[in-house]
Amino acid sequence: MRFAVPLIVFVVIVGFLWVGLGLNPREVPSPLIDKPAPDFTLRQLHDPEKSFSNKDMLGKAWMLNVWASWCVACRQEHPLLVQMSRAKLFPVVGLNYKDTAADANRWLMEGSDPYVLSAMDMKGDVGIDYGVYGVPESFIIDKQGIIRHKVIGPLGPAELQNCVRPLIRELEQATGESKVSEEVKKACGR
Amino acid sequence: MRPMSNVGIWIKGAAVAVLLLLPLAQGVAKEAPPLAEDPVLEKQVNSITAELRCLVCQNQTIADSHADLAIDLKNQVRDMVHEGKTQQQIVDYMVQHYGDFVLYRPPVKPATYLLWIGPFLLLLAGIGVLLFNLKKRRQAATEASPLSAEESERLAQLLNAGTDRKNAS
């Protein structure tokens, strides 16, 4: 009995530490989920004469992938993006963040280009609108232009299979306002 | 001749060092955040960015941080102040795009009640335990029960036995 109180206190502290230290402080939940994607119009990387606007993608479920040639973790997710584009899973648009056209093009030449196109956000203003704080980040956007999920850091095969693919499938099937099922929400950690 | 050549080497070394450091100094100068001409505006920018968390180096405010993102956000705040936005409008904009986490002072709302009230609850619990223990101790002291009849007789016997032995010796 004498040890009961200290033991309980100890167990509670261990419980808090167990949960607390398991959380990733880098993963700050985005307030933009289930909100309309902020509008932007930017020049295209490959063809600076042409511009791209997020509104061009209305009617499609797609992914906006924020990347940069200076971003080390982008190299980590790059092969998966290339595989995805070969398999034609869904359109992936690149947002080339705080980069120069020369560096970005060189980077894409090194490997292959997984993007339908890349938009150049040289000053990072669009990045601020999207709440980007660490590259790479990916936004899954539905047919009506609503952000439905945000991947922080490099996209991994597990997250692609369990969360992103089923999510995009649901968004593609939706007519009118898309609804994300509870299973997918759970798989995406929401 | 020897000392001369030594001096020569020193001068050469110093010149090389200066040459090597020169681009560094330029680099540093280039990265310094642009100062607004208006000190009043700059003061306002600083007071706003001191309330915002840098999302890269999470225990620093944007005002303190030299991370690229923090500098970008500082410029964003400066632009917005320039446009005549109020502090509240700017902070709201940041929260809309980065979430509550961007606030250095967490807002008081149901999700953060425990955060704000928790320490006081712990303090109250501590005071409660302290009072309980004090009361218990005081009770133990006052309730020290007087000896029963049997016990006092035995005590008297023992004391008597002691004095008897003393007298005898």
Domain span at residue B136 reads 112-164
A8, A12, A70, A128, best to mutate vs chain B, most B CBs in 10 Å? A128
B-chain residues near A125 (CB < 8 A): 76
- In a domain, residue A4? The reply is no
What CATH number should be reported for the domain holding residue B88?
1.10.8.640
pLDDT at position B15, please? 66
Residue B35 confidence class, pLDDT cut points 50, 70, 90 = low
CA distance A180 to chain B (A): 22
Domain span at residue A158 reads 32-187
B115: left (phi over 0), alpha (psi -120 to 50) or beta: alpha
Residue B59 confidence class, pLDDT cut points 50, 70, 90 = confident
- In a domain, residue A5? The reply is no
- In a domain, residue A16? The reply is no
**How many inter-chain contacts (A to B, CB under 8 Å) are there?**
35
Rounded to two decimals, the pTM is 0.74
Tens of pLDDT, residue by residue over B91-143, are 999 999 999 989 988 889 888 899 999 999 999 999 999 999 999 988 887 77
pLDDT at position B7, please? 61
Tens of pLDDT, residue by residue over A121-166, are 999 999 999 999 988 999 999 999 999 999 999 999 999 999 999 9
Q: Of B85, B107, B129, which one is at a domain's C-terminal end?
A: B107
- In a domain, residue A37? The reply is yes
Tens of pLDDT, residue by residue over A51-84, are 999 999 999 999 999 999 999 999 999 999 999 9
What CATH number should be reported for the domain holding residue A69?
3.40.30.10
B-chain residues near A16 (CB < 8 A): none
| B145 HSE (CA, 13 A, CB side) | 5
Residue of B nearest to A27 (CA): B55
A60-78 burial code (b ≥16 CB/10 A, e <16): bbbbbbbbbbebeebeebb
Cβ distance B99 to A124 less than 8 Å, yes or no, reads: no
- In a domain, residue A120? The reply is yes
The total number of structural domains that make up chain A = 1
Instruction: State the complex-level ipTM.
Output: 0.79
Residue B164 pLDDT > 70: no
Tens of pLDDT, residue by residue over A1-42, are 778 889 999 999 999 999 989 888 778 888 999 999 999 999
Residue B27 pLDDT > 50: no
Residue A169 pLDDT > 60: yes
A153 touching B, CB under 8 A? no
User: Are both B49 and B92 inside the same structural domain?
Assistant: yes
- In a domain, residue B20? The reply is yes
- In a domain, residue B169? The reply is no
User: Are both B140 and B91 inside the same structural domain?
Assistant: no
How far is it, in rounded angstroms, from Cα A86 to Cα A84? 5
The total number of structural domains that make up chain B = 3
CA distance B128 to chain A (A): 15
- The total number of residues written for chain B in this structure: 169
CA distance A137 to chain B (A): 13
